[in-house]
Amino acid sequence: MRISLHPALGFSLSGLILAIASHPAVASRVADALGEPARRPLETVRLLDLAGRHLILAGTGLALVALLGIGLGLLVTRRFAAPWRPAVDGLAAAAQAVPPVVVVALALPILGFGGPPTLLALVAYGIMPVLRGTVGAIEGVAPEVREAGRAIGLNRWQVLLRIELPLAAPDLVETLRTALVLAIATAAVGALAGAATLGTPIVAGLQNQNTVAMLQGTAATAALAFLADAALLTAVALWRATRP
Amino acid sequence: MPARSATPPSIGFRLLLPILATALGFGALVLALTEMPLLNLAGNRLAQGRPLFAGLVLGGLLPVILALSGLALGLLMGSRRRASAGAAIVLLAGAVLALAYGLGDGAARSLGGLPPAARASLGPGSWFAAALLMTGVGLAVRRADRPGLGWLITLGGILGFGLLANSGAVGALSLAVEYAARREAVNAAIGEHLILSGAALGLAGIGAVLLSLPRRGQGVVAMVLTGVQVIPAVALLGALVAVTAGLLRALPILRDLGLSALGPAPAIVAIAAYLALPLWRGLALALRSPDHASLEAAEAMGLSPGQILIRLRLQLGAPILVGALRVAAVQSLGLATLGALVGAGGLGRIVFDGMAQFAPDLILLGAIPVVALSLGTERGLSAVEAAARRRWHA
């Protein structure tokens, strides 16, 4: 347990330092030290509001992605789906060649400005890595173990729930971490499509040369990513520790 | 084909599945071509338009397209022979060609008599139908199972489409009009994009080699590189712009060297920071690929460490290295799109211009080359990876 908590500790520490750096007073100091002209910083209330919206958008996206990605991943690793695997693999590889910015941009004319195109981009882009990760995790389970499960009389569902999923769990957690990082990054990119997230002060700051606001957004976005990742790692570690 | 080791699923299911999939695919194609708008006719490039359907756009070509694709799908469903897969490819290619010609012709006819600012853009039905037909071609190529056929078809497709575009048959479509107006800008952006992602890849490669040199401290390197992956790219770009600006104020000489806070420099560094992890990890795995016995044998034969590195480690690790390069290159091309945010140019600039103007065609004009470059790189380096695996792991 100590080993699995270790990266979480480093990540939460980085997150906390970055969160402090996003505070108006601290960010103004940093900008001053970099020699930037003094500009009006973003108030803490506004920053927290944006962080909340960012978290809701990324969280909703992550939940959808996890549900669909893991579900589809489990489906295509069942035996009856074997003939379809090459097609699914090809599709997954092709989908990952489209960067999230491009998905956000392409969704814009269809869904308009704001949260919806970002959410769609998040889901459309996130499903395939999760699907791929799930397939990899399930296929990493040694076939002998699976056969042994069948040999002692477990049915398909029992093999899935009692053998495949527990053994694939560490890889599945890694997949979810990737998806989480992706969700937070895509939500930040969503600022380009007019979604109110922590990416908004970055994009606006770059346009208006307001370095203070840009630094605040930058630090806060990175802080959110580190803290969310650390939270996921901690939750998994706690869950493992409480299990018999 | 995967080995069918255990009991197969029921025979009925096995027979039913292809029929069901074929019916579903053909149904979707019919729906896309007859019920969804194929073109969108608008007063200018930014205005909301009105949808045009198959009757007006495709006319007599609609039954031809449906017959060709229906026949191809029937062949794919009914027979597992390679010859029928080949025939299906030809039929589907005909359907794609007919659709492209029909859309271009329909656009030209519907624009007739309208002011020059009017635009006919592709509607959802066209995109959906094209995607379905391409999927069909992909399935048929897989079924035909000939090495290199996929590449041949891709090349033929690009060539065919180029000829069609060159003949002016699709010149009335808004995407072609937009491209004609910005040909230079788009071509320049493609060049910038390649330079941007290439430079980042080179920088990350040098970084990965340097980072894997010290024997101690690889754990810290792993932690830092993994940590970088967590930072959203938008944030890292912003931070690097601020840091570069500060650096330029502290050391004005750098400005004389052509460095600026907004421009390619921070973008290349930011992109390279993300690519360092896959490259560094790939390098470490590749160098560890030969087993103990072969290393000892090589030493016993009197090979120097340098010879062992080149003849053994790098050759056995070549597939892993190429795999890491593939992951990094695709990531680089995608991230380079964001570079436009900090004034680095590239295809992202066209995409962002399109977003700012709410002009779908402009967004597509930037997005299509990004996707094409990424897909081409992915496929190309996958092929190299497979070849390396065959060559050294026979």
Q: Which of B163, B342, B317 is nearest to B239 (CA)?
A: B342
CATH class as words, domain B12-172: mainly alpha
Cβ-nearest to B242 among A14, A189, A215: A215
The pLDDT assigned to B70 comes to 93
Instruction: Say which residue the tokens 């056969």 belong to.
Output: A147
The ipTM estimated for the assembled molecules is 0.86
pLDDT in tens, B218-240: 888 988 898 898 899 999 998 99
Q: Is residue A36 part of a domain?
A: no
How confident is the prediction for chain A on average, in pLDDT? 87
Residue A27, both tokens: 């960010």
DSSP state of B262: S
Interface of B with A in 230-289 (CB under 8 A): 230-239, 241-243, 245-246, 249-250, 262
- Check B374 against A222: CB less than 8 A apart: no
- Residue B150 three-state SS: helix
pLDDT in tens, B9-51: 555 666 777 788 888 999 999 999 999 999 988 888 777 788 8
Quick one: closest CA in B to A21, which residue?
A: B239
Q: Is residue A191 part of a domain?
A: yes
Of the pLDDT bands very low, low, confident and very high (cuts 50, 70, 90), residue A6 is low
CATH number at residue A231: 1.10.3720.10
pLDDT in tens, A42-94: 889 999 999 999 999 999 999 999 999 999 899 888 877 777 777 777 777 77
Residue A192 near residue A101 (C-beta atoms within 8 A): yes
Q: Is residue A30 part of a domain?
A: no
Rounded to the nearest angstrom, the gap between the alpha carbon of residue A38 and the centroid of all alpha carbons in its chain is 34
Sign for the pseudo-dihedral over CA of B46, B50, B56, B58? positive
Residue A150 near residue A85 (C-beta atoms within 8 A): no
Q: Is residue A121 part of a domain?
A: yes
What is the distance in angstroms between the Cα of A148 and the nearest Cα belonging to chain B?
Answer: 13
**Which parts of chain B sit beneath pLDDT 70?**
1-14, 393-394
Residue A2, amino acid: R
Cβ-nearest to A218 among B239, B330, B363: B239
Quick one: closest CA in B to A18, which residue?
A: B231
Of the pLDDT bands very low, low, confident and very high (cuts 50, 70, 90), residue A236 is confident
Longest dimension (CA), chain B: 84
Residues of the domain holding A106: 2-22+48-242
What is the distance in angstroms between the Cα of A166 and the nearest Cα belonging to chain B?
Answer: 23
Q: B181-392 maps to which CATH number?
A: 1.10.3720.10
The pLDDT assigned to B2 comes to 46
* Ranges for all domains in chain B classified under CATH 1.10.3720.10: 181-392
Q: Is residue A213 part of a domain?
A: yes
pLDDT value at A4 more than 50: no
Spatial distance between the Cα atoms of B275 and B229, rounded to a whole number of angstroms: 9
Q: How many Cβ pairs within 8 Å bridge chains A and B?
A: 155
pLDDT in tens, A138-195: 988 888 888 898 899 888 888 888 888 988 988 899 899 989 998 999 999 999 888 8
Residue A199, both tokens: 């990416």
Residue B171, both tokens: 């010149």
Neighbours of B281 (CB within 10 A): 18
Provide the domain count of chain A: 1
- Check A192 against B341: CB less than 8 A apart: yes
